[in-house]
Structure 1
Amino acid sequence: MAEIEVIAPNFKKRLSGVTSVIIQIVPEQRRLGTVVCALGPGLPPHVPKLRLRDLPRLLSRPRRRPVRVWHARRNTEMLAGLVLRQVLRAPVKLVFTSAAQRSHTAYTRWLMRHMDAIVTTSSRSASFLSLPHRIVPHGIDLERFHPPSEEERDWSSSGLPGTHGIGCFGRIRPQKGTDLFVDAMIELLPHHPEWTAAIFGRVTSDHRRFAETLQHRIDAAGLAERIVFMGEVPDIKPWYRRISVCVAPSRNEGFGLTPLEAMASQTAVVASDAGAYRDLVAEGETGFVVGAGDGAALTAAISTYLRAPDLAARHAEAGLRRAREHYALEREVQALAEVYEHLWSGA
């Protein structure tokens, strides 16, 4: 415990975008020299975690640093950091990463004013901040998400019909724009029999009716075998490598890793202008970006790839280069390490 320099709290049991970031980044931070541990439920065994019996020792100083860093990514975690520092007098500095694409509530602004450093993940998120901050975009693990082998890119290995696949990833809900994707597929697939659409993600109980409505639309169009809800699969990574086009049609996002995961897997992207998608996707080079919620524009962009699979392949190669040059996970880790070092040095 005395060696731990950074705490990454995760106060949400269900898998979310924030949890995915913690799962991905904490092991990489450890590998590159930052002694960090996560704290909270819902984390897989490979992520270094604090035990409950270790918590009282947060009140002592770490061996090699003047204070620990408490790196929060949610309001509840900022509040817990404040309690640690202000009430329990723990020797901690507080960092908050904001990915919000909207004006912050008065409560969130109050919490942020008590942070020692603010990080934001995109230029759009930064536009909603009035406090000093540093932009640190999320990165992608290029070992876990990588280009396909010849066998993997062969769509026949999927067990689904057609010769090309197009995929949509994320929980099934209006926020994620699943309905926009389904509507686009219903319009386009009858003209492109070689393509099949696969939709990946969990349906929660409060969105069960939404998913059922989408399935009724698909059935009525006679496309039940070519627009397929795959649910949650044990390993999503091979599917990024199997499909030729990834569609990220969210109406709103915090950051959104889906386009990066696709680009690192050498797959072309059609994305909405939500989250950090416009920062991530080079328009007309690695994919297309359309207005969030604009179903007609989304359909037109997807149609470009369905009519020209060779263009999708060229954009996929460019996307892989972009992911490797600008969004390697190591770059994010190094940038965060610089934020921590400033706090430890008293800057």
Structure 2
Amino acid sequence: MRDLAQIDVIAPSFKRRLSGVTATVARLVPLQAQSIAITACAPEMPDEVPNVHWSRLLTMSRGGPSGPRVWHARRNVEMIAGLALRGLLGKRIKLLFTSASQRHHTGLTKALIRRMDAVIATSDKTAGYLECPATVIHHGIDTDTFAPHPDKAALRAELGLPTGPLMGCFGRIRAQKGTDVFVDAMIRVLGDHPDAAAIVMGRAVDKDQTFLDDLKAQVQDAGLTDRLLFLPEVPVWETPRFYQALDIYVAPQRWEGFGLTPLEAMACGAPAIATRVGAFDELVLDGKTGTLIDAGDVDEMVAATQAVLSDPPKLAKWSECARAHMVQHFQLQQEADAIIAIYKKLLND
């Protein structure tokens, strides 16, 4: 059990369902714990992630080993919790918020951000929506975990996935994520490439279940149920194997805050076809590590996929470049170190 009296930094993630924030905390905290006394505070985390139950926050000592503690929030509810710990319970806390949103904030969010001691933006675009100074720190990935598999055919057999060229789209299944655009495009692509297959992996919440059912019906009507597969969401620590099985990753979002999945896919050697939303145009080198397309454009997605499927040497080159670009510019250690520098500044102020 973690001794909160020895903890300088708390990284909350209160949402039980798998999300980008959950994945970010799960990746960063174990790495940061090698350099600073940090713990997550989440309903569920992998065993290797230092984690405490929220109830222990109520009785933790007023200060930490360095005086104040840093509370690193990534959602409104976590900013509110940090303010409550400081204002109502008298805990000595410095408040840090990371914003990934690329839209104008609500009045509540603006009010909360104004009360933070420091703010991080995950992209230049995100920083442009903030009405306060922010440090831009791109997300990174663990390029040791997210890495090409030495035997893709054996991995696919183990996972029960089809042989031949394989495209994938992972994450929440809903209109905002563009899952319908991916399905529409893949039905057309698979019709022209009988050796290829595609997978959608993720979950739909109750309000999006009809949306998912309609997509499955489309695939069934097209006679592609054995080649365009819908796979259930897996824990964040199991996703690397599914990226490793892909040849091409498609990020079809209509809107996105940052968008981590293309990074993870490219680190595994799968070039990304991504829409021009979120930070994708800061992550994907168009024509080198993948292709950028307009959001919601099925024809453009079909053309981009067809172009790379029909040119195996280009696919191989893009795969190699994608991996190299991630290793050079998007290492998780780079993100962890940049955030730790902010932690230390707050602890010492």
What TM-score comes out, normalization by structure 2 length? 0.93
Q: State the AA in 2 paired with 1:172.
A: I
Change (3 A) 1:5 1:225: same
Shift of 1:233: 4.1
Structure 1 counterpart of 2:280, from 274, 277, 282:
277
Q: Greater CA deviation, 255-264 or 85-94?
A: 85-94
**Residue in 1 aligned with 2:39?**
37
Q: Identity across aligned pairs (percent)?
A: 42
Query: What is the rounded CA distance, in whole Å, between the counterparts of 2:57 and 2:231 in structure 1?
Result: 40
**Residue in 2 aligned with 1:319?**
322
Q: Which runs of 5+ in 2 are unaligned?
A: none
Indicate conservation of the 8 Å contact 2:143/2:327, yes or no: yes
Change (3 A) 1:312 1:153: farther
**Residue in 2 aligned with 1:240?**
243
- 1:71-150 matches, cutoff 5 A: 71-150=72-151
Shift of 1:162: 4.5
**Residue in 1 aligned with 2:310?**
307
**Residue in 1 aligned with 2:232?**
231
**Residue in 2 aligned with 1:217?**
218
Structure 2 counterpart of 1:332, from 312, 331, 335:
335
Structure 1 counterpart of 2:21, from 13, 18, 27:
18
Indicate conservation of the 8 Å contact 1:95/1:118, yes or no: yes
Shift of 1:69: 0.3
**Residue in 1 aligned with 2:209?**
208
Structure 2 counterpart of 1:47, from 46, 49, 71:
49
Q: Which runs of 5+ in 1 are unaligned?
A: none
Shift of 1:149: 0.4
Q: State the AA in 2 paired with 1:283.
A: D
Query: What is the rounded CA distance, in whole Å, between the counterparts of 2:203 and 2:134 in structure 1?
Result: 34
Shift of 1:300: 1.5
Query: What is the rounded CA distance, in whole Å, between the counterparts of 2:212 and 2:300 in structure 1?
Result: 23
**Residue in 2 aligned with 1:290?**
293
CA offsets per residue over residues 126-178 of structure 1, 9 Å max, x none? 11012011001111011211111034477666544442111111122111111
CA offsets per residue over residues 254-275 of structure 1, 9 Å max, x none? 2111101111101111011122
Indicate conservation of the 8 Å contact 1:68/1:91, yes or no: yes
Change (3 A) 1:61 1:160: closer
SS of equivalent to 1:93 = strand
Query: What is the rounded CA distance, in whole Å, between the counterparts of 2:199 and 2:289 in structure 1?
Result: 21
Query: What is the rounded CA distance, in whole Å, between the counterparts of 1:53 and 1:178 in structure 2?
Result: 38
**Residue in 2 aligned with 1:171?**
172
**Residue in 2 aligned with 1:259?**
262
Query: What is the rounded CA distance, in whole Å, between the counterparts of 1:60 and 1:72 in structure 2?
Result: 19
Query: What is the rounded CA distance, in whole Å, between the counterparts of 1:69 and 1:4 in structure 2?
Result: 9
**How many correspondences in the alignment?**
344
CA offsets per residue over residues 218-256 of structure 1, 9 Å max, x none? 122222221111222462222211211010101111211
Query: What is the rounded CA distance, in whole Å, between the counterparts of 1:230 and 1:122 in structure 2?
Result: 30
Query: What is the rounded CA distance, in whole Å, between the counterparts of 2:333 and 2:11 in structure 1?
Result: 17
Q: Greater CA deviation, 258-267 or 233-242?
A: 233-242
Change (3 A) 1:249 1:112: same
Shift of 1:57: 4.7
**Residue in 2 aligned with 1:67?**
68
Change (3 A) 1:153 1:184: farther
Q: State the AA in 1 paired with 2:120.
A: V
SS of equivalent to 2:33 = helix
Query: What is the rounded CA distance, in whole Å, between the counterparts of 1:163 and 1:134 in structure 2?
Result: 43
Shift of 1:208: 1.5
Change (3 A) 1:178 1:52: closer
Q: Pairwise CA RMSD of aligned residues?
A: 1.8
Query: What is the rounded CA distance, in whole Å, between the counterparts of 1:275 and 1:201 in structure 2?
Result: 19
SS of equivalent to 1:101 = coil
CA offsets per residue over residues 287-330 of structure 1, 9 Å max, x none? 01111222222222111112113212211111111111111110
